[in-house]
Structure 1
Amino acid sequence: MARPSRKSASTRPDIHTQITNQIIEAIEQGAGDWQMPWHRTGEGLNRPLNADTGNAYRGINVLSLWVAAEVRGFSTGLWGTYRQWQAKGAQVRKGEKASLVIFYKEYDAEDVDTETGETTDGKRRFARASYVFNADQVDGYERPEPPVAINPVEAIDQADAFIRSTGAKISHGGDRAYYRPSSDSIQMPEPSRFLGTPTSSATECYYSTLLHELTHWTGHAKRCDRQFGERFGDEAYAMEELVAELGAAFLCADLGIALTPRPDHAAYIDHWLKVLKADNRAIFTAAAQAAKAGEFLEKLQSVTKAA
């Protein structure tokens, strides 16, 4: 039987701890040369999809399934529950281990955040676990033809149009990339100063860096108004960097751009581990805020097209 074992509520860690520990373990297993899952392939990385509905997973579930696929060497981003695979005429192989995703049981409440379960009155919906298996773990499933990869030129054109539609103030010059809150502007080196890597072209390096800074840009008070100081104190800056890292990963996956680690990426790993170990909901907060940043930027695309 391939179903996950059911432990009693008193012995099973809560859902937030299970997912947080999974991500911590994956990072620590990589020791000093850890690369986040979204840096692992030169073809870019798509959001994981539910094999039954075809819908893309969101927020923390994207990160959780990316990590699971990286650690266990899965070659596909298709996932489904035991019953969903059965309904498609497929069978999860005996002994296969499920991966954990999270959802929130719905209650009648206004303005509910679907990633954190928070409402405007401070209440929370009940977090529920769901166990899914990758298509690599099942027999009897005929995979559909993989989607045609986005032409690199088209991907860059698409990314350029996406960024331009935000209306963000972007200046070029110098040798550093950063967002400056005081002027509400992004500073980027000239595109010609970026170098290619084994997984990304020089142009992709430029755009993935710009999408990182664009995620920072969404944190301004007149946009998503991200404030981590009260909760995370001295680690608030590391939290914002994690949001920008995840935000850029989500955007690159959607736009077909291979994400390149920032030069200072490794320096933040220890900070992130410290935050994750101290707060089992920190990664949920970061993923939810990254998702909100992406949704905000998507809405700007709609506004531009409507105009």
Structure 2
Amino acid sequence: MPKNTNRVDLYQAVTDDILSMLEAGTKPWAKPWSGGASIPLRHNGIPYRGINILSLWASAMRQGFASPYWLTFKQALELGGNVKKGSKGTTVVYANKLVIKDEETDDERRIPFLKRYTVFNAEQVEGVEGKYPPPPAIINNPDSRDDELEAMFGRIEADLRHGGSSAFYHIRDDYIQMPAFEAFHTGDDYYATLAHEATHWAGAESRLNRKTLTSTSRADYARDELVAELGAAFLGATIGFKVEEREDHAAYIEHWLAALRNDKRAIFEAAREAQNAADYLLAMMQEGGG
């Protein structure tokens, strides 16, 4: 059963979990899968979103799970399975607002709340192996372009320019600059970098109007780099390219650690903004895609 939970305690617990991995030099969103890239899925195949993706990726990394499927104890029983003895569950959250209506004035108040669930990976459940086979490995030719990914990225309505040795999003002139495809070690490196810059692009004032992108604060700049990293990871896990560790982002780790230590909601906000950007980009990428 879901439990009502103290928001502060829950924010702190999830933040501490992500912090511990970052302090150990591991990013839950960089190469968070084994065998194939996948967004974590509920028992019925519906994808998790936002902060729950990070929590489940982190748990899968620590425990070595390849399956993207997660079930509650009750769901496992309903499917004829049983959680293995000694299995450690993972916390996921459900956020919504309770609408309270004043009977005299008909005014409505919306009170935010969080519910907490404990879920188990399909590999922790006996008797459901036939329902939840492991995902196939995604194998891309690292030396050539991927026609499907090319078509999807080509639907993004951005001014994309190639040349030079740097990848960046130019805020003032609103364009994405990328080195030539051949300059990257693998095709996945190219698509992951493009997804990162596209996540920045999506946050422009004329689109999602993300404050960390348009701010002149160095701390906000680092926060937007975190959003872009998460956005690229969400996109990669959805449409099928691997996101590797990027050396040029190592300098931001201390900024991220400081942000998470000082603000227990920072990783929740970053995950929310990254999910918004991924949704925005996927709506373009999959348009007319079938």
Q: Return 5+ residue gaps in structure 1 as ranges.
A: 110-120, 196-201
**Do the aligned residues in 1 keep the contact of 2:29 with 2:233 (CA within 8 Å)?**
no
Equivalent residue, structure 1, for 2:95: 104
**1:187-243: per-residue Cα shift (whole Å, max 9, x none)?**
111111111xxxxxx111111101100000001001010003899954101110000
Secondary structure of 2:209's counterpart equals coil
**Do the aligned residues in 1 keep the contact of 2:34 with 2:65 (CA within 8 Å)?**
no
Change (3 A) 1:166 1:41: same
**Aligned pair partner of 2:268 in 284, 287, 291:** 284
Name the stretch that deviates more: 175-184 or 66-75: 66-75
- Offset, 1:98: 1.2
**Do the aligned residues in 2 keep the contact of 1:85 with 1:91 (CA within 8 Å)?**
yes
**1:153-205: per-residue Cα shift (whole Å, max 9, x none)?**
6992222112111121111111110000011001111111111xxxxxx1111
Equivalent residue, structure 1, for 2:176: 186
Aligned equivalents of 1:216 and 1:9: distance in 2? 33
**Do the aligned residues in 2 keep the contact of 1:155 with 1:255 (CA within 8 Å)?**
no
The answer to whether 1:266 aligns with 2:266 is no
Aligned equivalents of 1:79 and 1:263: distance in 2? 32
Equivalent residue, structure 2, for 1:118: none
The answer to whether 1:29 aligns with 2:24 is yes
- Give the TM-score taking structure 2 as reference length: 0.86
Equivalent residue, structure 2, for 1:305: 288
Give the residue type in structure 1 aligned to 2:47.
Answer: A
Equivalent residue, structure 1, for 2:147: 157
Equivalent residue, structure 2, for 1:49: 41
Give the residue type in structure 1 aligned to 2:171.
Answer: P
- Offset, 1:301: 3.8
Q: C-alpha root-mean-square deviation of aligned residues, in Å?
A: 3.0
Aligned equivalents of 1:96 and 1:223: distance in 2? 44
**Aligned pair partner of 1:72 in 63, 76, 85:** 63
Equivalent residue, structure 1, for 2:228: 244
The answer to whether 1:228 aligns with 2:221 is no
**Do the aligned residues in 2 keep the contact of 1:26 with 1:71 (CA within 8 Å)?**
no
- Offset, 1:13: 6.2
Change (3 A) 1:155 1:48: farther
**Aligned pair partner of 1:141 in 111, 116, 128:** 128
Identity level (%): 38
In the TM superposition, 1:207-222 aligns within 5 A as 207-222=191-206
**Do the aligned residues in 1 keep the contact of 2:5 with 2:115 (CA within 8 Å)?**
no
Give the residue type in structure 1 aligned to 2:20.
Answer: E
- Offset, 1:86: 1.1
- Offset, 1:91: 1.3
Equivalent residue, structure 2, for 1:167: 157
Aligned equivalents of 2:196 and 2:117: distance in 1? 31
- Offset, 1:270: 1.3
Aligned equivalents of 1:225 and 1:235: distance in 2? 18
Change (3 A) 1:124 1:281: farther
**Do the aligned residues in 2 keep the contact of 1:49 with 1:77 (CA within 8 Å)?**
yes
Change (3 A) 1:278 1:167: same
**Do the aligned residues in 2 keep the contact of 1:158 with 1:255 (CA within 8 Å)?**
no
- Offset, 1:261: 2.5
Name the stretch that deviates more: 60-69 or 142-151: 142-151
Equivalent residue, structure 2, for 1:38: 30
Aligned equivalents of 1:208 and 1:162: distance in 2? 13
**Aligned pair partner of 2:13 in 6, 13, 18:** 18
Give the residue type in structure 1 aligned to 2:278.
Answer: G
